Amino acid sequence: MTKTIDTLVPDLQALLANGIEGLDQSLVDEFGKRVSEMASSRLKREPRDGRLRMSNIGRPCVRQLWYDYHDPNGGEKLSGDTYLKFLYGDLIEELVLFLAEVAGHSVVGGQDELVLAGIKGHRDCIIDGVLIDVKSASTYSFNKFKDGLRAEGDTFGYLTQLQSYLHASQSDPLVTDKSRGAFLVIDKTLGHICLDFHEYRNYDWEGFYERRKAIVSDARVTPPRAFSPVPDGKSGNEKLPTACSYCSRKWDCWPNLRGFAYSTGPTYLTTVMREPNVPEFKP
Ligand code: SF4
């Protein structure tokens, strides 16, 4: 019997809870091959080219795109910890697609190239005819998807990314349900899985891309910041909001920024009225 996307999550949970007899070895071999290719490619450290892609053009902050475009190898260097997080995130994403196939769902079109207004991208895959973007997430981020990701909680522009892929797939025969796409999300701490569906928004995505291209390519004008500092408790100090604290350009973007190693994690202060009683760090 052909499976549909509506049973994907319970099917995955049942597979993991009960196991399976007579696993198709060709699926395991293909999974092994994809993991091996992914590991070799992710361990390369080639210079970045700063090109706009469908995966980054919808970021909430155009200024960040502008920095990356004009100075692709500048900004904060990623630490080994961060690279490891990305690597096991990618592994988890491959794993869940493998499990979806083992559970009898159709998984096709993985990493197919799409083009929108001259900008290239690669969608994750199509499961049972529905365009899917796979995300591995912390428990905090997972809960945003579980409740239905909203624009105000979309720190990294994932909604625009999904809509762009869906728009660019409107004439693709592999995508049989063109009215919606979904995030398939895995909580990498607790192992929970959810599907977060979003209706296709028929919008002038080409126009949106063209406007972004024009702003980003103009070297003379640094675009304005998309975010403002927020109060850090009641001290009068102000800190960067979450989106900026993850941004590799924060030290270029905010002159006089100061980093402090709070016990809860690094905090970046833009205004210091009361000196924190914790070690300060530099980029
Ligand atoms: S630090 Fe914040 S405002 Fe500045 S470029 Fe990054 S995301 Fe944009």
Q: How high is the pLDDT of residue 33?
A: 96
Q: How high is the pLDDT of residue 46?
A: 87
Over 90: is that where the pLDDT of 2 sits?
no
Tokens 């296709």 locate to 200
Which mutation among 66, 68, 76, 247 tests ligand 1's pocket best, with the greatest number of atoms within 8 A of CB? 247
Q: Report the half-sphere exposure of 51 (CA within 13 A, side-chain side).
A: 9
Give the dihedral sign, CA 172/177/180/183. negative
Run of H or E including 249: none
How far apart are the C-alpha atoms of 146 and 143, rounded to whole Å? 5
34/68 same-domain check = yes
Q: 75 CA to middle of ligand 1, Å?
A: 11
pTM score = 0.93
125/206 same-domain check = yes
Domain assignment present for 62: yes
150/29 same-domain check = yes
Domain assignment present for 258: yes
276/176 same-domain check = no
Over 80: is that where the pLDDT of 111 sits?
yes
155/251 same-domain check = no
Number of domains in the chain: 2
Which of 212, 242, 271 delimits the end of a domain? 212
Which phi and psi angles does 85 have, rounded to 5°?
A: -60, -45
Q: How high is the pLDDT of residue 99?
A: 98
3-state secondary structure of 11: helix
How far apart are the C-alpha atoms of 197 and 133, rounded to whole Å? 10
From the number of C-beta atoms within 10 Å of its C-beta (0-12, 13-18, 19+), residue 272 rates as middle
pLDDT tens string 229-270? 999 999 999 999 999 999 999 999 999 999 999 999 999 999
Q: How high is the pLDDT of residue 174?
A: 97
Domain assignment present for 190: yes
pLDDT tens string 154-200? 989 999 999 999 999 999 999 999 999 999 999 999 999 999 999 99
User: What percent of the chain is predicted at pLDDT more than 70?
Assistant: 100
The enclosing domain of 155 has a CATH number of 3.90.320
Kindly indicate the confidence band of residue 225, based on its pLDDT and cuts at 50, 70 and 90.
very high
Domain assignment present for 168: yes
Which of 153, 186, 212 delimits the end of a domain? 212
191/274 same-domain check = no
Q: Give the domain extent around 162.
A: 5-212
Mean pLDDT of the chain: 95
How far apart are the C-alpha atoms of 114 and 166, rounded to whole Å? 10
Over 80: is that where the pLDDT of 48 sits?
yes
122/262 same-domain check = no
Domain assignment present for 91: yes
How far apart are the C-alpha atoms of 87 and 96, rounded to whole Å? 15
Please tell me if the CB atom of residue 243 comes closer than 6 angstroms to any atom of ligand 1.
yes
Which mutation among 56, 59, 62, 64 tests ligand 1's pocket best, with the greatest number of atoms within 8 A of CB? 64
21/140 same-domain check = yes
Domain assignment present for 153: yes
Tokens, residue 170: 């409107």
Which phi and psi angles does 134 have, rounded to 5°?
A: -95, 135
3-state secondary structure of 158: helix
188/242 same-domain check = no
158/83 same-domain check = yes
CA end-to-end span of the chain, whole Å? 56
Kindly indicate the confidence band of residue 50, based on its pLDDT and cuts at 50, 70 and 90.
confident
